[in-house]
Structure 1
Amino acid sequence: MTGTLAGRGRPGPVPPQVIAILSAELPSLAEEIISEVRRSVPEDARQGGKVRQPTIRASVEQVMAAFVDQVTGAGNTHEHRDELCRELGRSAAYEGRSLDALQAAYRVGVQVAWRRVADVAQRRRLPSGVMTQLADALFSYIDELASLSVQGYLEARSRSADELAGVHRRLLRMALRPGAPGGALAEAAETAGWPVPDEATLVALPAGARCVRAALDEDVLADLGDAEPHLLVPGTFDTARRQMLVNALPERRSAVGLTVPLAEAAHSLRWARRALALVEAGVLEDGGPTLCERHLLELWLLSDEALLDQLSRRQLGALTGMSRTQRSRMTETLGAWLEAQGNAVETARRLRVHPQTVRYRMRRLGETFDEQLADPASRFVLDAVLRAHRLRQVRRPSMR
């Protein structure tokens, strides 16, 4: 015998007379392997949907021929065989199947082949050393084939995931365009197998947020490469969707917009992004996720801070002649008085001062604001301005 195995590596050349014996067995052995695979591995598991891999006969014949070449030392490269095994793995991935059926076929094949080798060895009285070499060669070879198929499978799964993510990004961008859903969105969604929902909830994520895409539900659209990452969750944001988001976001921070008709998805995202900005500024508590529906008043009052500044100057301009301390005391009193609907005792309780102090301050405010405090519309505007002012005062010091 010439050559030995080194661990699980490839064997050295097998004696020519043994190769001749094995070669004579190949046609019938191929038939036996094919028959046993068809019997042992269910057809639907072997094929899935549309069959794109080469026929099982061609596959068996090619890998057997490559095995003979390998044990004879006739060649060190088997590009065609390697690509065939990778394609078997890729086909399983593309058809949405696991590798279980393919690995089962490999196991059946090696069992049948080894039974034949053992039978031939007994009939031909082959030396035990040759049998050991063939056993190592055969099982090492099948490991090599299975490894190649796994490579192809993982490659296809990765490519499929990237392609699907790209399709989802395009669908999400189309859904955010004015007038969605439109014919183009419906057509693209049908092609991608994504059911177009009647309603959607948009979720805003911080820039650079880590998101475990595999933890997202299959119908959730994601654009994680955007400067402002975001998700589209079909339908309402219920308890199950919340848990999904918690699982997908290790850092937890996110803001969930309102559930709206799909055509208004851009509004939901705009509100979610505004809520996220207020969370990052320290105005809203980090709810992980923060729900817009719980902060509608805050979102409305702080929706346009530049305009709010203009309104504040006009409504509170009468206080500009006071010192900063006086102005702070008077706005605090006015805000509490408005919330207490003009009740001096309730206002005093909120401020923790004597009711007479409230009455004194309100007399001064009445003189300052003239008829504004008697007009319901003016009181409403003052209340809104003061509430927004208090919200802005709760920002983290570093954000002010």
Structure 2
Amino acid sequence: MARPLESGRADRPPGRLTPQVAAVLRPELDALAEDIMAEIRRTIPAYARLPERGERQELRLGVEQVLRTFVDRISGSEESRERRDELCRWLGRGEAYRGRSLDALQAAYRIGVQVAWRRVAEIGQRHKLSSAVMSQLAGALFAYIDELASLSVEGFQQARARVGDSRAEARRRLLRLLVGRPRPSKAVLARAAEAAGWRMPAEVVPVAVPPKARTAPEALDAGVLRDLDRAEPFLIVPGPLDEERLAMLTAALPERRGALGPSVPPTEAADSLRWARRTLALMDAGILAVTGLARAEDHLLELWLLADGALLDQVARRRLAVLSGMGDGRRRRLIETLGAWLESEGNAVETADRLQVHPQTVRYRLRQITDVFGDRLGDPDSRFELEAVLRAERLRRGGLPELPKTGSPDVSGR
């Protein structure tokens, strides 16, 4: 009958047993590794789907290595420990790089120790290991698994930090491409989106936000790109702006103030953001009487007319210079009448209704306007420019352009 194997001297370090214990365990390692792998594949879906080559083979090599290192350790050898440590960290890093959590790997460790302990119990019974040896083996095995799990967590956290840093930089580069000039090609944008881990949608909605606005970024979906620290903060919302996304924006912008650009393909995001910012500027200037989240697409005409203030001033001075010698009162009346007449397509009665004056008053003013502008009112291009200028001035200054004045105020009342 085989003699029971004892744990040896009382001063033996924790986890170390006699060389004979390691000797009876070592021949069982290959079969044990096979049993552990089979149970992992059977009970953990993430590993059941792994191909024969690649990740499954890597996992099998990992199981074999940690088993060998365990047996080395209980026999007093630390030669393979460094390799084992790096292997466990590498397994943790792999989960992070693949975008997975540690749940599957931690479950694999738990299954591994359960299968290993069942096999060790069988070996102990077969070789008649004493209860003291089995107790020490159990303690060493479960402590060992905790150590492996901690090493994998360490590797996982290291990789997540690296992935987070690189992913953040990739998203910053993606944002620069989306809103920068020149407009990026689809291929360039697709590569940048892939590097940033961003699924590129068919369309995006840029959102201009007031500087230093109170925001709740945690309310935003993971796919929303944002730069809230710059002088002109903004968001890029993927997909059309449906009710769900609008509710998300409302939660993320507690002050409910901002401007939404038109929904456009990602390659045109820079233009849409520019229009959103212009809409926000017109809101701030009080030109657009809008509260909350304004949609730029509802104000495209205003955006166009007021796109370039200096250019608008030049057009106004050139087209309305013939009025510059009049007093403010007369000039205002003629400008209001001209604008209403143009918008009424030359109908004097409708013009009178718009101005709430008698049609005869309109006809009198139109004779003055005709005397001043002459045959330019018969030219379609001139009429178009005049109407555009007068609409823009009504938005910008309430209707009276800033023109050089050479005459005295008119007090005729007509």
Instruction: Give the 3 Å change call, closer, same or farther, for CA 292–268 of structure 1 in structure 2.
Output: same
> Post-superposition shift, 1:174?
5.8
Alpha carbons 1:66, 1:81 under 8 Å: kept: yes
Equivalent pair of 2:22/2:74 in contact (CA under 8 Å) = no
Q: Secondary structure of 2:264's partner? A: strand
Distance 1:304 1:178 in 2: 21
- Structure-to-structure mapping, 1:211-250, within 5 angstroms: 215-217=221-223, 237=240, 239=242, 242=245, 246=249, 250=253
Amino acid of the structure 2 residue aligned with 1:297 = L
Structure 1 residues 144 and 265: alpha-carbon distance in aligned structure 2, compared to 1, 3 A threshold: same
- Which residue matches 1:274? 278
Structure 1 residues 288-367: aligned runs within 5 Å: 288=293, 290-317=294-321, 318=323, 321-323=326-328, 331=335, 335-341=339-345, 353=356, 355-356=357-358, 360=361, 363-364=364-365, 366-367=367-368
The question of whether the paired residues in 2 share the 8 Å contact of 1:372 and 1:378 is answered with no
Give the TM-score normalised by the residue count of structure 2: 0.64
Match of residue 28 from structure 1:
28
The equivalent residue for 1:142 is 145
Partner in structure 2 of residue 92 of structure 1: 95
Distance change >3 Å, CA 337–CA 163, structure 1 → 2? same
- Tell me what 1:107 maps to: 110
CA contact (8 A) 1:216 1:245 kept: no
Q: Distance in 2 between matches of 1:151 and 1:328?
A: 76
SS at match of 1:86: helix
| Alpha-carbon displacement from aligned partner over 1:147-190 (angstroms, at most 9, x marks no partner) | 432443344345345545545655665676557538x7389579
Aligned residue in 1 for 2:131: 126
Q: Deviations over 1:336-357 (max 9, x none)?
A: 4544445666556656x5x33x
1-structure distance, mates of 2:266, 2:69: 60
Change (3 A) 1:393 1:153: farther
SS of the counterpart of 2:311?
helix
What's the Cα RMSD here?
A: 5.1
Classify 1:187/1:115 alpha carbon distance in 2 versus 1 (closer, same or farther; 3 Å): closer
Runs of 5+ consecutive residues of structure 1 not aligned to the other structure: 3-11, 395-400
How far off is 1:110 after superposition? 1.2
Cα distance in 2 between the residues matched to 1:31 and 1:295: 73
Partner of 2:38: 38
1:324-372 per-residue CA deviation (whole Å, 9 max, x = no partner) reads x776676556544544445666556656x5x33x754774575267354
Gaps of 5+ in 2: 1-6, 399-414
Alignment TM-score, normalising by the size of structure 1: 0.66
Aligned-pair identity in percent equals 45
Q: 1:8 is matched with which residue?
A: none
Relative distance call for 1:116 and 1:48 in structure 2 (3 A) is closer
Would the alpha carbon gap of residues 213 and 15 (structure 1) be closer, same or farther in structure 2, given more than 3 Å must change?
Answer: closer
Q: Return closer, same or farther for 1:286/1:21 CA change in 2, 3 Å cut-off.
A: farther
Counterparts of 1:244 and 1:143, CA distance in 2: 45
Distance 2:363 2:161 in 1: 69
| Structure 1 residues 162-241: aligned runs within 5 Å | 162-164=165-167, 166-167=169-170, 170=173, 178=182, 181=185, 185=188, 188=191, 201=204, 203-206=206-209, 215-217=221-223, 237=240, 239=242
Rg larger in structure: 2
Quick one: which of 383, 386, 391 aligns to 2:390? 386
Change (3 A) 1:96 1:337: same
2:87 is paired with a residue whose SS is helix
Q: Is the 8 A contact 2:91 2:152 kept in 1?
A: yes
Corresponding letter in the other structure for 1:31: A
The answer as to whether partners of 2:29 and 2:67 remain within 8 angstroms in 1 is no
Secondary structure, in 3 states, of the residue corresponding to 1:55?
helix
Q: Select 1:159's aligned residue among 148, 158, 162.
A: 162
Instruction: Give the SS at the match of 1:259.
Output: coil
Q: How many residues end up aligned between the 2 structures?
A: 371
Change (3 A) 1:269 1:85: same
Q: Residue 261 of structure 2: SS of its match in structure 1?
A: strand
1:175-206: CA deviations, max 9, x gaps? 76557538x73895798699998x75562544
Give the drift of 1:309: 1.9
How far apart are residue 301 of structure 1 and its match? 0.4
Query: Using the alignment, how far apart are the partners of 1:244 and 1:156 within structure 2?
Result: 34
- Does structure 1 retain, via aligned residues, the 8 Å contact 2:26–2:71? no
- CA contact 2:50–2:56 (8 Å) conserved in 1: no
